[in-house]
Amino acid sequence: MDNKQRALAAATAAVLCGSAGAAPDAGALRQVAPALAHYNEHLLLGEVWQRPELSPRERSIVTLAALIAKNQPQQLPPYLEQALDNGVKPGEIAEIITHLAFYSGWPNAMTAVQAAQPVFAARHIDSAQLPSAEVALLALDEQAEAARASMVQQNFGEVAPGVVQYTTEALFRQLWLRPGLAPRDRSMVTVSALVASGQAAQIGYHLDRAMDNGLQQAQASEMLTQLAFYAGWPPVFSAMPVFKEVFTKRTTERKE
Amino acid sequence: MDNKQRALAAATAAVLCGSAGAAPDAGALRQVAPALAHYNEHLLLGEVWQRPELSPRERSIVTLAALIAKNQPQQLPPYLEQALDNGVKPGEIAEIITHLAFYSGWPNAMTAVQAAQPVFAARHIDSAQLPSAEVALLALDEQAEAARASMVQQNFGEVAPGVVQYTTEALFRQLWLRPGLAPRDRSMVTVSALVASGQAAQIGYHLDRAMDNGLQQAQASEMLTQLAFYAGWPPVFSAMPVFKEVFTKRTTERKE
Amino acid sequence: MDNKQRALAAATAAVLCGSAGAAPDAGALRQVAPALAHYNEHLLLGEVWQRPELSPRERSIVTLAALIAKNQPQQLPPYLEQALDNGVKPGEIAEIITHLAFYSGWPNAMTAVQAAQPVFAARHIDSAQLPSAEVALLALDEQAEAARASMVQQNFGEVAPGVVQYTTEALFRQLWLRPGLAPRDRSMVTVSALVASGQAAQIGYHLDRAMDNGLQQAQASEMLTQLAFYAGWPPVFSAMPVFKEVFTKRTTERKE
């Protein structure tokens, strides 16, 4: 395509497919939903994003995870830009997408790659700056992993042997040990995806793991505030009893 | 863009991105799935939409809520056109989108704004015809709201203080009191979104509230018929036990 | 459109709307997420798709069902191509889409029709090769259907009379009896859609029915492996206890 064609193609997609940005331009938003424009400016951007319980970088990680888990590629590009501006490294974005291939499905990750490709290209980010497929893995806590694997094998080894096999081989002995995304951040991505996609039954294990990985309770709580806006109130209300249970259990265990 | 380019852009997006309408044109539908074309014409349009338990206006509200909650912008434009033709006011559509920013997440609402913008523009609907950000709010039932707030604070005040704060400030002391969408219709939107997105655990409270706001049992039942077609049978079957429980509780309480 | 315009339109959509394929081209994938490119080639394509527990044709059916149920039209076209290459007949694809109109909602099916239309057109598949709307139906097991209908009527007949009516008339006395998709394959589509969209509460009935329709336990287990990759680990982990319960119940009943 020549430049004129490229511009036309971009305009076409931007206008008609919604690839233009995280938000419609401010004019369109005010033209269709003036109250939402107001909430967007004053409540979400002006207040929620400024709350000190999570840094802008952490809010970007939570938001990207929610957008990928809910498969919303139209909204991704500006949030990817913002994430890079907020200090999320390109290699961390690559790891977030790879992680969510497993935790929200291959198609969501592939669609996210398509959304990220022009953002990376425009910033001259190439694969040399990203973690390789083969990297030296973080040390594994063999005892904890053996306990986890044994529990899952006992529960589901005969029900779904393939799932159990890849849970061990691909997830817990590879993906989680890749050093390009800190374990705490990997846990934030996982928990955010679980909350956003309404997978309440899977939150308990991963929130507990997140806090083992260094996530503070106040940070976990504030993830719910961010997710209420980016995934909606209902899945957050369904997640709150699980968060409460995990917080209570950990407090009780600490006291004993 | 000149006219020829604009036409090409529209054709591109229509053919390849699915922005063309609620349904593929009848020819494409018959070419790919003749049986579905038949069900579409005779069962869904010819029968379900004609059932008297809900008016066309109410079916449009339920359907828009489902499409926004499930983030299906490709299908939105013709349903927005139909909603306007069925008597849903532009200001009500603006309020539905704003409401669902909170009940299905900001990205869904932003994508809906993008879908609605050309529909509004073609009908010369501008922000002067829409509710302002700042409006005189409906009267609040202070006693009921105090009871709700106290219950949520007690359950989750320490688990997620930010969520609890905005639930009171932004949702129940603002959004729900905006007069541009009647409380009963706001409840229909909320319940439809909860059913469509499979949030069964959150339905009970909001269905009860919907009926307090004037929704009749026969209307609530028929929302499930409409949603079976627009969100699929499974989430409706997961919602039916909750509907049954609420209907039974209200009947029992009335008898006592 | 002339040929040059058509090529531009396709390129526009492919690059910017993600209609290009199941995966971004290999270059883009390596540029954004090298580790994911590696897992894609070596783990998913090189290993999972080669496992003998399900044939490529069966994996294609499971994958199409997941993509339609999760409304991922950007990823559909190459998987439709692959399904046809793997022996899924055009008429079976038409029936899968029609079936999922009911089991994942009309909008998902309509979006799938739009994705399938150019794939069918390019292969010169037209409606003459597809099952008609009116076909001679498979024989109904009247006794089993009477038991099902009676149970649903008793549970929900007063809660949602419209849903109960169409469940009988449209689903169990029509859709499930259409001969263009074998009952076992129709069950695979249904169960895959339920797992992929996180509808755990509806899985038990349909998995049991799938096995009545001839699905082997090892095949059902392997569907979970395929779905872990295409819908993500969390909904599969939420489905596993239900699969376990159905497997156990059927084994126990056989022994007694």
CB B184 within 8 A of CB B210: yes
For residue B108, the model assigns a pLDDT of 98
Torsion-angle region of A12 (φ positive above 0: left; ψ -120 to 50: alpha; else: beta): alpha
C111:B72 CB<8 A? yes
Q: Does B1 touch chain A (CB under 8 A)?
A: yes
**Percent residues over pLDDT 90 in chain A:** 87
Q: Which residues contact C46 (CB under 8 A, 6 or more apart)?
A: none
**Percent residues over pLDDT 70 in chain B:** 90
Residue given tokens 């009191």 in the structure block = B177
For residue A27, the model assigns a pLDDT of 86
B121:A240 CB<8 A? no
Q: Which residues contact B107 (CB under 8 A, 6 or more apart)?
A: A22, A66, A67, A70, A72, A74, A75, A230, B71
Once rounded to an integer, what is the mean pLDDT over residues B195-224? Answer: 98
Neighbours of chain C (3+ CB pairs under 8 A): A, B
Picking from B6, B207, B233 by the largest number of C CB atoms within 10 A of its own CB, the best residue to mutate is B233
Q: Which of A251, A169, A174, A166 is nearest to A208 (CA)?
A: A251
B32:C105 CB<8 A? no
For residue A254, the model assigns a pLDDT of 83
**Pairwise CA distance, residues A54 & C82, whole Å:** 45
A107:C230 CB<8 A? yes
Q: Give yes or no for residue B15 having a pLDDT over 50.
A: no
Structure tokens, B164:
């609890």
**Pairwise CA distance, residues C187 & C201, whole Å:** 16
CB B97 within 8 A of CB B68: yes
Torsion-angle region of B161 (φ positive above 0: left; ψ -120 to 50: alpha; else: beta): alpha
**Pairwise CA distance, residues A45 & B110, whole Å:** 14
Domain boundaries, chain B: 1-46, 138-173
Q: Give yes or no for residue B10 having a pLDDT over 80.
A: no
Nearest chain A CA: its distance from B17 CA (Å): 6
What are the pLDDT digits (tens) for B16-26? Answer: 333 333 457 78
Confidence of residue B204 (pLDDT cuts 50, 70, 90): very high
Structure tokens, C193:
């859609």
A16-30, A128-142, A216-230, range with the lowest pLDDT: A16-30
**Residue C44: CA count within 13 A, CB half-sphere:** 24
Q: Does B22 touch chain C (CB under 8 A)?
A: yes
Chain C residue with the nearest C-alpha to that of B43: C170
For residue A26, the model assigns a pLDDT of 81
Q: Which of residues 90-149 of A touch C (CB under 8 A)?
A: 94-95, 97-98, 100-111, 113-117, 120-121, 126-127, 130-135
What are the pLDDT digits (tens) for A154-190? Answer: 999 999 999 999 999 999 999 999 999 999 999 999 9
Topology of domain C28-137+174-255, CATH: AhpD-like (1.20.1290)
Picking from C12, C31, C32 by the largest number of A CB atoms within 10 A of its own CB, the best residue to mutate is C32
Facing C24 at nearest CB: one of A104, A117, A127: A117
Structure tokens, A10:
């971009």
Measured between beta carbons, which residues in chain B are less than 8 angstroms from residue A38?
Answer: 133-134
Q: Which residues contact C88 (CB under 8 A, 6 or more apart)?
A: C57, C60, C61, C64
CB B188 within 8 A of CB B211: no
For residue C25, the model assigns a pLDDT of 79
**Pairwise CA distance, residues B76 & B61, whole Å:** 12
A97:C228 CB<8 A? no
**Percent residues over pLDDT 70 in chain A:** 90
For residue C14, the model assigns a pLDDT of 41
Q: Give yes or no for residue B97 having a pLDDT over 60.
A: yes
Q: How many CB atoms lie within 10 A of CB B149?
A: 16
Q: Does C46 touch chain A (CB under 8 A)?
A: no
Q: Does A198 touch chain C (CB under 8 A)?
A: yes
What are the pLDDT digits (tens) for A81-107? Answer: 999 999 999 999 999 999 999 999 999
Give chain C's end-to-end CA distance (angstroms, integer): 68
**Pairwise CA distance, residues B103 & A232, whole Å:** 5
Q: Does C12 touch chain A (CB under 8 A)?
A: yes
C107:B72 CB<8 A? yes
For residue C256, the model assigns a pLDDT of 67
ipTM of the complex: 0.91
Q: Give yes or no for residue B225 having a pLDDT over 90.
A: yes
**Pairwise CA distance, residues C108 & C67, whole Å:** 9
C36:A199 CB<8 A? no
Once rounded to an integer, what is the mean pLDDT over residues B164-187? Answer: 98
Q: Which residues contact B237 (CB under 8 A, 6 or more apart)?
A: C163, C201, C202
For residue A256, the model assigns a pLDDT of 67
For residue B4, the model assigns a pLDDT of 45
Q: Does A12 touch chain C (CB under 8 A)?
A: yes
Mean pLDDT by 10 residues, chain C (256 residues): 42 38 72 97 97 98 98 95 98 98 98 96 95 96 97 98 98 98 98 98 98 98 98 98 98 83
C243:A163 CB<8 A? no
**Pairwise CA distance, residues A235 & B192, whole Å:** 15
Residue given tokens 């931007």 in the structure block = A14
Facing B230 at nearest CB: one of C105, C113, C194: C105
What are the pLDDT digits (tens) for C78-131? Answer: 999 999 999 999 999 999 999 999 999 999 999 999 999 999 999 999 999 999
Facing C113 at nearest CB: one of B28, B222, B235: B28
Q: Does A72 touch chain B (CB under 8 A)?
A: yes
